[in-house]
Structure formats: C-alpha cells, structure tokens
Chain A
Amino acid sequence: MSTPQQPDGENLLREAVSTTPHCLTIEQLDAYLRAAAAQEQMRTCSTHLASCARCANELAMLREFLGAEVPQGQREDVRAVARALEGNRERLLSAAPGRVETRPSWWGSLAELFTMPRLSFAAAALVLAVSVGLYVRQGRVVETPGEFSGSGVYRSGKVTGITPSGDVAAVPSVVTWSAVPGAQRYQVRMLEVDGNELWKTVVAGSSAPLPAAARIHIAFTKTLLLEVTAIDEAGKQIAISEATRFRLMSRRR
C-alpha cells in the first residue's frame, strides 16, 4: 500500500492563494471598482472579496493602475520613463494594425523569384531555401524555457489528457489533465502559437482554474496553446505535455 502524500505547509499556502472558479473576472472587478454593476452583483462581488485574498489583491492592483497616483519620491523617475516613451511615440503608434507596411509573405518572395534574371537564380534559390527554413522554424511552436528547466531536468513521461482542447463553444474556466505519478505540483502555461507566454500558474492538483487574467486572452477564433509540466518534490520536471491547441468558436464570453 502506498503511503499517502503528507500535506505540506508551503503547498497549502500556494493553493490557498490560487484562483478558484468563483474568482471574479477583471471586468467584474472593474465594474465593482466603479460601482457600475447591478446592486445584486455588487453584493456578490463584495461577499467574494471578503473571503478571497487573491481577488482583493487583484482589485487593489487594478485600483493602483487606474489611479496612477505616483508617490512623491518616484515622480522624477516616472517622468523620465514617460519622457522616454514619448520619444518613441511615433514608432509605438505605427505598430497599430492595418496601416503599417507589411513584410512580404514568402509566397510574395517566391513570385519575385521568377521575375529575377536567370543568373541570379542559384543565389536566390539558396536565399529562398534559408528563408523557408526560417519561416517554418518561426511558425512552429517555440518551446520557451519554463521556470523549472535547466540542470537536473528529467523528462521521463508526458502529461496527457489536457482539456480544453480543439474547438470550444465557451470560454473555459478550468484546465484539467491526467495526474502523473510522483508529481508534487504542476506548472500550467497558456501560450500564443508563437510561444509567447500569456499566463502561468503552479498548482498541486490535476486542474487549474483559469483566472480573469488568463481568460481575457481567449479571443474568438484565436488559437492558443496549453502546456502542463509535472514537477516532483525535488523540483525536477518529470513530465511535460505536448502543446495542446484550443480555439474559442463562439463569441459568448
């Protein structure tokens, strides 16, 4: 008979401040802050905030961001950062979509290739081969190093059974997977297809609620990836999942 895993005070603390399915969305917190929600919703928010340190902290952070009250001692530094931003304003604004010059696609490059003089063909073919190679490389799912990677990493297995997966009809509220023997905790990451990390958490069980900060990235028809890493008591990776794709196919939030 296996010995049950004994409770660990550190894990208990982590779990106690993790998100739950009852946690408030950023929109709910924002409406609460502005007292813009219906009376009953204000009461529901109030009740939850009284029992959830995580949401209370999120509310405080949102208030701080929106309030932008800069303490006296920081004003000079903040102004310096704002001045540097202002210096780059044009470049930043030019990133807005639809009005920036787009890079030619590799199909465009291919078309251009056939208009080139014959003598340049070999050189162009070489450039194209390298470009296509780079394109494929950039297009694939990039494995970004996780917090627990590095020396002493053992990946003997795979984390499987991840949900949500494929096309989903509503914004998911939780990520689940099959438990891995020997795992003490799991790191869950939500990524864009280019590997850009949008959200990450660490949990003890085989599910992780998706908080408002994660759900806000789940946009209609946008493909996202989930990756779950199992970590043992010594902090070593013992299994990692394939990047599991999912996509919201409804505008319903």
Chain B
Amino acid sequence: MQHLGDEELIFRFRSGDGPPQNDPHLNELFRRYSERVAAWCWRHTGDRELATDLAQEIFLRVFERLDSFEGNSRFSTWLYTVARNHCLNSVKARAVRKEDALEPMVVEPLDVATPSAEQELIRRGRVDEMRRLMRDELDATEQRVMVMHYGEELSLDAVTRALGLENASGAKAFIVSARRKLQRALERNRGARKGGN
C-alpha cells in the first residue's frame, strides 16, 4: 500500500466498493496527510481546538469533492490549496482588526496636468519599481511578511504565527524595517531620476 502514489490510491478507492471509511486506500491517504494538515492548522492558529476544527473542515471538504479530483495536478498540491485557502480565510475572518501605527510611505505625487492615460502608465511603472525593490532590497523574511500582510491581508499577529517569528515584536519589526528600506530606495531612485533630467 505504501508504495502507491496518492493519485493511485484515489483511483483504487474509486474502483472499489463498500463504505469509504473501511477503504484501505482512503485510510492510507488520510494517514499520509493528517499530521501535515494538523501541523499546518496549528501553525496558523496556535490553538488546539481551532486547529482541530479547521483540519476536520479541510479533510471534509477534500473528501466530499474527491470525485471532482481529475488528476490534472497532484493530490498533495490540491490538498495544499484547500488547506491554504481555508486556513487563511479563517484566520482573516477571526482577526480583530487593529491598525498598527506605521510611518506613512511617501510616494512621488503626480503632476495634476498629466493626462490620465499617462498617469496610468506612471502608476504601473511605480508598481513595477516597487516589485523590483521588494526583491532587491528586502531580505527573505521581510518579503514574506510584506506578502502575507499586504497581499494575503493577514494581521501582523497572524503573520507572526504563520511564519513562526520568535523576535519580541514579531512581524511588526520586519514590516517597519522593510518599509524604511523601501522608502530609502524610492528616494534614491527619485534622486537619480532628477539627477538624470
């Protein structure tokens, strides 16, 4: 049984009969992933009861939809996507929204006389510049904190937990340092542009 791939287990389960809870292939699939899902849910919640609820919901969702699994991707990536979305949505829904006081990011204002089509081009250029700066200026942890906080909209507490940050102020310290680095880089670039003109 252990030599079979996940997708093969699903195929054999589908080909079999009898109650699914007695199916050895489905049981093997559950055995392979229950600890991973448990670890993932614990990591995002830090609470045994909540992690158990989330992990059960993830398995329920996956098993209920097992007939829609077409094998275009691996079972593990499918399970990951369900676990990822379920945990992040749940953490967001439970988060108490509190705005952390951070120094504002100062960006170059647009010239009011600039035509709107040009403004859009400038805006896109600035987004690209910011993307580049994030990769060039920030360390790996800062980048992840920025993506989780601004992209996934997780609270700083949730980011701290998800990334297992053990420093005193958690994700906030990384956000503060990342924003400062980006601000300095923006100013440097702006200075270089002005110098070039």
Binding site for B on A (CB under 8 A): 3-4, 6-10, 12-18, 26-27, 30, 50-54, 56-57, 60-62, 64-66, 68, 70-71, 74, 77-82, 84-86, 88-100, 147, 197-200, 202, 212-213, 216-217, 219-220, 222, 253
CB distance from B174 to the nearest CB of A (A): 13
Which applies to chain A's interface (DSSP): helix, strand, loop or mixed?
A: helix
> B116 to nearest A CB, angstroms?
7
- Are A78's CB and B77's CB within 8 A? no
A-B contact pairs, 7 of them (CB 8 A): A27-B77, A53-B146, A54-B151, A62-B77, A81-B55, A96-B66, A97-B67
Chain B residue nearest to A50 (CB atoms) is B135
Decide: B153 and A202 in contact? CB cutoff 8 A.
yes
B78: A residues at CB distance < 8 A: 216
CA distance A30 to B74 in the complex (A): 9
Q: Give the complex CA separation of A99 and B26 in angstroms.
A: 12
B100 on interface, CB distance cutoff 8 Å:
no
Considering the complex, which residues of chain B in the window 39-61 have a beta carbon less than 8 Å from any beta carbon of chain A? 39-43, 48, 51-52, 55-56, 59-60
A17 adjacent to B109 (CB under 8 Å):
no
Residue from B26, B67, B76 in contact with A66 in the complex, judged by beta carbons closer than 8 Å: B76
Q: Once the chains are docked, how many angstroms separate the CA of A6 from the CA of B84? A: 35
Asked whether A82 and B106 contact (CB < 8 A) given A27-B73, A57-B147, the answer is: no
The answer to whether residues A68 and B35 also contact, given A16-B127, A16-B134, A219-B68 and a CB cut-off of 8 A, is yes
CB–CB A52/B112 < 8 A: no
B48 partner residues in chain A, CB cutoff 8 A? 77, 80-81, 84
Q: Find out whether the CB atom of A4 lies under 8 angstroms from the CB atom of B116.
A: yes
**Residues of chain B in range 150-169 having any CB-CB distance to chain A below 8 Å:** 150-151, 153, 164
Could you tell me which residues of chain B, from 65 to 124, have a CB within 8 Å of some CB in chain A?
A: 65-68, 70, 72-74, 76-78, 80-81, 83-85, 89, 92, 104-110, 112, 114, 116, 119, 123
A92-B30 in contact given A51-B131, A81-B55, A147-B92 (Cβ < 8 Å): yes
For B104, give the chain A residue with the smallest CB separation: A9
Which of A57, A94, A217 touches B143 (beta carbons < 8 Å)?
A57
Whether the Cβ atoms of B70 and A94 lie closer than 8 Å is no
Is A78 a contact of B72 with CB atoms below 8 Å? Answer: no
Known: A9-B106, A12-B107, A16-B131. A89 touches B81 (CB 8 A): no
Whole-angstrom CA separation of A99 from B51 in the bound complex: 28
Residue of A9, A18, A92 touching B60 (CB-CB under 8 A): A92
- Check A92/B126 contact, CB under 8 A, given A6-B109, A52-B131: no
- Give complex CA distance A3, B112 in Å: 6
Which 6 pairs show the lowest CB-CB distances between chains A and B?
A9-B105, A17-B151, A16-B130, A96-B20, A81-B38, A68-B36
Within the complex, which residue of A4, A84, A98, A216 is in contact with B119, where a contact is CB–CB below 8 Å? A4
Which residues of A are found within 8 Å of B77, using beta-carbon distances? 26-27, 30, 62
Q: Would you call A85 and B64 a contact (CB within 8 A)?
A: no
Once the chains bind, are B59 and A85 in contact (CB under 8 Å)? yes
A26, B106: Cα distance in complex, Å: 35
Known A-B contacts A7-B110, A7-B126, A92-B60; the reply to A13 vs B146 at CB < 8 A is yes
- Roughly how many angstroms separate A119 CA and B104 CA in the complex, as a whole number? 74
Q: Which residues of A contact B81 (CB under 8 A)?
A: 26, 212-213, 216-217
A253 touches B72 (CB 8 A): yes
Besides A57-B144, A77-B48, 13 other A-B contacts (C-beta < 8 A): A12-B130, A13-B150, A16-B127, A17-B151, A57-B151, A60-B140, A64-B43, A65-B36, A85-B34, A93-B20, A93-B30, A94-B20, A95-B60
Contacts of A199 in B (CB 8 A): 85
Query: What B residues does A57 contact at CB under 8 A?
Result: 143-144, 147-148, 151
In the complex, the chain B residue whose C-beta lies closest to that of A220 is: B70
Q: Is the CB of B20 within 8 A of A198?
A: no
Q: Which residues of B contact A86 (CB under 8 A)?
A: 34
Q: Which residues of B contact A82 (CB under 8 A)?
A: 34-35, 38
B residues in contact with A197, CB < 8 Å: 89
Q: Contact: A89 with B72, CB < 8 Å? A: no
Q: A56, B143: Cβ atoms under 8 Å? A: yes
Inter-chain contacts of B196 with A (CB < 8 A) = none
